[in-house]
């Protein structure tokens, strides 16, 4: 298992860094927030990401992908975290794309082509509770003559607004199943505004009829695929949180070196030095977990769950510590909207809660470890 | 002195008769009443309650009657506070002046100042703000530079303040100003009372991460201040500032009581949002909440002990100096746990699909960070404990 980025990964990371710095810096996210855009991400930037090949990175060549692996994609997510870039890369490509890759039949693979080409977006509708509990849901699919009838309500659907369709989990008489629901006026889509000003939707299905070919994979046989795709999402999200935390930490260390009180730089106070050093320690530990999990996704898929939960838990905890310290060490100016600290705090808070927070992943890690 | 039990009965009867039913609930965001020239009543019961408490002289229950107080003893005041808490009476008003400047003026003000400033304060007619911090004088407050020049019959104030809470809504400011630029930094500072409606005062709001803007920058351009508005000795302001900050910190450790949902009951909110924790992750969260609740219980007992020690005349500077630190740090932890329990329901932003309580919790969470910075950061509190309470030796490198 390789715990360092390869030459190729680093080249990808450099391109990403260069691109995002010029096309999607933090200031652009602030503008996006203040303009109350309907989409909550910049579609031009998104199309350029597609042109850069980011939507194809992980998929095999025979499906139109670059077969480049998750370590490379992780580097891209880290960069997006650093610049707070909002995009449907996670929702459409990582989560829905990987489900299609695992489960789609030939005609359903059309969706994957469209996702890679950026023509269409899918969003994953799985959560129904306030906290992430992927297999605790009520949404139900009932067999009818020429298809299914779907009823239920999904929350926290990332990038679910203005999507071309949704991948929806539902109870079926055979067990947990997945359905592709193309956009339709019959689906009630409600906007959810969260502190990170990104795109979230609540979806309600009132006895929506779906054709036979809406079913993704075999009925009652999608738990493993869901877990696998969620884990891939968690890795990418962990990389994003890591990137955001590093940026925030760098800003804070810089401030310790410039702000003066009592005639000295505040970074000379040992009380602050040790805490900053501690943040560094936690970041480094988290980074190892993230890169190990990315590596795992590329090499062996066997214990992806364990390493994904380890990464998401450790990085979320490190991120919480760093946001808290960043604010505190900036003093009064740290709680103003003028600085970017608040933007990082808000994004990190939502990201660490999405797809399972530290407590969720700690518990899951324990369960998986027990089974080994 | 009336027997305390009898006093308790009288107080309860009066509160039951006079506190409108609508004001026996926690104060929602935005319904806190600030005393001042134009109190911000939104419905009539608020005015009624304000006027009744004012006429009872219970805005400042322990102050002497001649300065607008009710002359209650500290024990009687505890009775009043506990009865109000039992009936869940909202505070009729809040006013920084009463908590912070008031006690300092009572002790150090001239008779004329007491008459001029304390009485309207006790009637909730003047809103006060605190002009201490400056861009380069935060934790190192004593290096402040806003100057007051002696012009014979008045002072001329020039400079600026920052992070002034409600500076744009206040009628008066108690400000620290430099009156002797040549003296060592702690020895050239004075405490001045400054009319915010004077010519040359300008304010600019600063936006907070909570989406609100409760503080601002304040600029002084040749502002004239009467010489009678100097409190205490000329260049003797630092000592007063230290006293005042002590009052601020005890007020801050109490302030939360007034504003939902700070000082919230973590366990009961956990019960609302995460009833019957069943998954392992919910259970682990639940026990973290129990831990925080026990810590808070210890804090609450310490508050009680502090009050009783004060009533018994015991010197308790050490104990006093831990209160603000403990309270504000505990609140941050409680909010983090509450957010974990609430999942995305705690993260709504300007979205009415979230309940009022959920939105209030979100803003209070974002605000909780401020409290560990305002009124002297946690680090400054720890320094005070280390230096003044434990009397640990100084690091000669830094002149704090
Ligand atoms: C919500 C809010 C309301 C406020 N309201 C008012 C008000 O009404 N009036 C007013 O005058 N001020 C007000 N303030 C200002 C407040 O008093 C200052 O923010 C505070 O004193 C810290 O100063 P600073 O912001 O300049 O931070 P700095 O002093 O620059 O501190 C930066 C960091 O360095 C740390 N630090 C500094 N010195 C030391 C040291 N010796 N050892 C270890 N660590 C150290 C600090 O703890 C902090 O973490 C308010 C602040 C906030 C957040």
Residue ranges of chain B that CATH labels 1.20.140.10 = 240-389
Band the pLDDT of B94: cuts 50, 70, 90. confident
Superfamily of structural domain B128-231: Butyryl-CoA Dehydrogenase, subunit A, domain 2 (2.40.110.10)
pLDDT at B15 over 80: yes
CB atoms within 10 A of CB A51: 9
Atom from ligand 1 closest to the CA of residue B141: 21
**Given this model, what pLDDT does residue B213 score?**
80
Distances (CA, A) of B39 to B24, B44, B50: 19, 12, 9
Q: ipTM of the assembly? A: 0.93
Residues A47 and A106 in one domain: yes
Which protein residue's CA is at the shortest distance from atom 19 of ligand 1?
A332
Please identify which residue in the block is written with the tokens 């201490």: B132
| Measured CA distances, A94 to A14, A79, A127, A204 (Å) | 21, 16, 17, 24
Q: What is the CATH number of the domain that holds A186?
A: 2.40.110.10
Min Cα distance B206 → chain A (Å) is: 7
Question: How many domains are contained in chain A?
Answer: 3
Parent domain of A353: 223-370
- Class of B240-389 per CATH? mainly alpha
Query: Of A268, A277, A276, which Cα lies nearest the Cα of B397?
Result: A268
CA distance B368 to chain A (A): 10
Q: In chain A, what's the furthest Cα-to-Cα distance?
A: 80
Is this structure's pTM higher than 0.90?
Answer: yes
- pLDDT per position as a tens digit, A129-140: 999 999 999 999
Interface size A-B, in CB pairs within 8 Å, comes to 138
**Above 50 in pLDDT, residue A11?**
yes
- CB contacts, 8 Å: A265 with chain B: none
Q: Is A307 on the interface with B (CB under 8 A)?
A: no
Q: Looking at the domain assignment, is residue A71 inside a domain?
A: yes
**Ligand 1 atom nearest to CA at B383:** 42
Same domain flag for A65 and A107: yes
Separation between Cα atoms, residue B31 and residue B360, nearest integer Å? 12
**Residue A271 alpha carbon, nearest atom of ligand 1:** 43
- A270-327 pLDDT, tens digit per residue, is 999 999 999 999 999 999 999 999 999 998 766 899 999 999 999 999 999 999 999 9
CA distances, B209 to each of A189, B217, B222 (Å):
29, 16, 33
Domain boundary among A77, A101, A117: A117
Q: Which two tokens stand for residue B173?
A: 């400011």
Q: What per-residue confidence (pLDDT) applies to B247?
A: 86
User: How many angstroms separate the CA of residue A170 from the nearest CA in chain B?
Assistant: 21
Please tell me which of the candidates A195, A261, A357 has its beta carbon nearest to residue B349: A195
Instruction: Report CA(B376)–ligand 1 centroid distance (Å).
Output: 6
Which residue intervals of chain B bear CATH 2.40.110.10? 128-231
**Please, which residues bridge with residue B239 across strands?**
none
Do A350 and B347 contact (CB within 8 A), yes or no?
yes
Q: Which residue from A minimizes the CA distance to B332?
A: A324
Q: What is the mean pLDDT of chain A?
A: 96
Q: Is a pLDDT exceeding 70 seen at residue B2?
A: no
Distance CA B371, CA A328 (A): 10
Residue A128: pLDDT over 90: yes
Are A147 and A209 in contact, with CB atoms under 8 Å apart?
A: yes
What's the pLDDT tens digit per position in B349-367? 999 999 988 998 999 999 9
How many whole angstroms separate alpha carbon A290 and alpha carbon A245?
A: 13
B235-257: per-residue pLDDT in tens?
A: 999 999 999 998 888 777 665 54
User: DSSP letter string over B41-76?
Assistant: -SSHHHHHHHHHHHHTT-SSTTS-GGGT-----HHH
Assess whether A110 and A37 both reside in one domain. Answer: yes
Q: Is B277 on the interface with A (CB under 8 A)?
A: no
Question: Where in the sequence numbering do the catalytic residues of B fall?
Answer: 248
A237 plus A315 within the same structural domain? yes
Report the largest interatomic distance among the alpha carbons of chain B, rounded to a whole angstrom: 74
Same domain, A232 and A361: yes
Mutate to test the interface with A, among B269, B342, B343 (most CBs of A within 10 A): B343
Residue owning tokens 């005015």? B47
**Average pLDDT over chain B, rounded to whole?**
92
Residue B258 pLDDT exceeds 70: no
Same domain for A356 and A242, yes or no, is: yes
B180 Rama sector, left if φ>0, alpha if ψ -120 to 50, beta otherwise: beta
Task: Report yes or no on A1 lying in a domain.
Answer: no
Domain boundary among A117, A134, A156: A117
Percent of the residues in chain B that have a pLDDT greater than 70, as a whole number: 96
Q: Do B379 and A272 touch (CB under 8 A)?
A: yes
Higher pLDDT, A285 or B263: A285
Is A87 among the domain residues?
Answer: yes
In a domain, A249, yes or no: yes
Which of A167, A201, A216 lies at the terminal end of a domain, its last residue? A216
The pair of structure tokens assigned to A34 is 């203040």
Q: Are residues A197 and A245 in the same domain?
A: no
């Amino acid at each position: 298992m390789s715990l360092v980025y390869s030459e190729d990964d680093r080249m990808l990371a450099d391109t990403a860094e260069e691109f995002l710095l010029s096309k999607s810096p933090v200031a652009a996210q602030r503008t996006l927030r203040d303009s109350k855009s309907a989409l909550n991400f910049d579609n031009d930037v998104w199309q350029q990401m597609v042109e850069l090949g980011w939507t194809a990175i992980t998929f095999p060549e025979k499906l139109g992908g670059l077969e480049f692996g998750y370590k490379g994609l992780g580097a891209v997510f880290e960069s997006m975290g650093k610049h707070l870039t909002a995009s449907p890369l996670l929702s459409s490509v990582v989560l829905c794309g990987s489900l299609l890759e695992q489960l789609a039949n030939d005609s359903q693979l059309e969706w994957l082509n469209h996702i890679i080409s950026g023509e269409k977006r899918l969003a994953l509708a799985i959560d129904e509770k306030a906290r992430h509990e992927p297999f605790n849901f009520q949404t139900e699919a009932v067999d009818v003559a020429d298809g299914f009838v779907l009823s239920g309500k999904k929350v926290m659907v990332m990038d679910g607004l203005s999507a071309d369709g949704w991948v929806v989990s539902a109870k079926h008489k055979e067990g947990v199943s997945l359905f592709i629901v193309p956009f339709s006026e019959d689906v009630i889509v409600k906007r959810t505004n969260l502190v990170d000003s990104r795109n979230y939707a609540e979806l309600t299905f009132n006895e929506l009829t779906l054709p036979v070919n809406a079913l993704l994979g075999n009925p009652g046989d999608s738990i493993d695929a869901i877990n696998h795709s969620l884990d891939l999402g968690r890795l990418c999200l962990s990389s994003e949180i890591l990137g955001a935390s590093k940026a925030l930490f760098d800003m804070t260390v810089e401030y310790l070196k410039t702000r003066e009180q009592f005639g000295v730089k505040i970074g000379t106070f040992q009380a602050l030095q040790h805490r900053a050093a501690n943040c560094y320690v936690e970041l480094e530990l988290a980074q190892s977990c993230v890169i190990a999990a990315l590596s795992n996704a590329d090499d062996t898929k066997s214990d992806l769950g364990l390493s994904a939960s380890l990464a998401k838990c450790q990085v979320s905890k490190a991120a919480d510590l760093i946001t808290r310290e960043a604010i505190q060490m900036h003093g009064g100016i740290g709680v103003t909207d003028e600085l970017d600290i608040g933007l990082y705090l808000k994004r990190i808070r939502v990201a660490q809660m999405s797809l399972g927070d530290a407590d969720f992943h700690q518990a899951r890690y324990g369960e998986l470890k027990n089974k080994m | 002195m009336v027997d305390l039990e009898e006093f308790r009965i009288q107080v309860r009867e009066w509160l039951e008769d006079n506190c409108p039913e609508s004001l026996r609930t926690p104060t929602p965001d935005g319904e806190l009443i600030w005393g001042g020239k134009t109190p911000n009543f939104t419905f009539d019961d608020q005015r009624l309650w304000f006027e009744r408490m004012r006429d009872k002289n219970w805005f400042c229950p322990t102050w002497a009657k001649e300065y607008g107080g009710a002359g209650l003893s500290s024990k009687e005041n505890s009775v009043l506070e506990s009865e109000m808490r039992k009936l869940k009476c909202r505070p009729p008003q809040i006013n920084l002046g009463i908590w912070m400047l008031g006690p300092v003026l009572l002790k150090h003000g001239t008779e004329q100042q007491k008459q001029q400033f304390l009485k309207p304060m006790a009637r909730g007619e003047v809103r006060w703000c605190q002009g201490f911090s400056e861009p380069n004088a935060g934790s190192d407050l004593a290096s402040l530079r806003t100057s007051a020049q002696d012009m014979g019959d008045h002072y001329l104030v020039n400079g600026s303040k920052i992070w002034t809470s409600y500076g744009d809504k206040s009628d008066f400011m108690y400000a620290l100003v430099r009156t002797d630029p040549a003296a060592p930094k702690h020895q050239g500072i004075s405490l001045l009372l400054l009319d915010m409606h004077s010519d040359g005062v300008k304010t600019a709001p600063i936006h907070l991460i909570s989406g609100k803007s409760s503080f601002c920058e304040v600029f002084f351009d040749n502002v004239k201040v009467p010489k009678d508005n100097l409190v205490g000795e000329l260049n003797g302001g630092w000592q007063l500032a230290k006293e005042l900050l002590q009052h601020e910190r005890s007020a801050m450790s109490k302030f939360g009581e007034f504003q939902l949902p700070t000082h919230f009951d973590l366990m009961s909110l956990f019960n609302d949002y995460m009833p019957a924790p069943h998954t392992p992750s919910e259970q682990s969260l639940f026990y973290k909440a129990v831990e925080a609740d026990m810590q808070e219980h210890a804090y609450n007992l310490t508050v009680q002990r502090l009050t009783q020690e004060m009533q018994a005349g015991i010197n308790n500077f050490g104990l006093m100096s831990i209160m603000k630190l403990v309270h504000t740090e505990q609140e941050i932890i409680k909010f983090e746990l509450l957010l974990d329990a609430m999942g995305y329901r705690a993260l709504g932003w300007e979205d009415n699909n979230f309940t009022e309580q959920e939105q209030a919790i979100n803003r209070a969470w974002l605000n909780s960070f401020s409290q560990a910075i305002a009124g002297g950061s946690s680090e400054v509190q720890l320094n005070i404990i280390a230096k003044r309470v434990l009397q640990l030796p100084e690091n000669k490198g830094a002149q704090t």
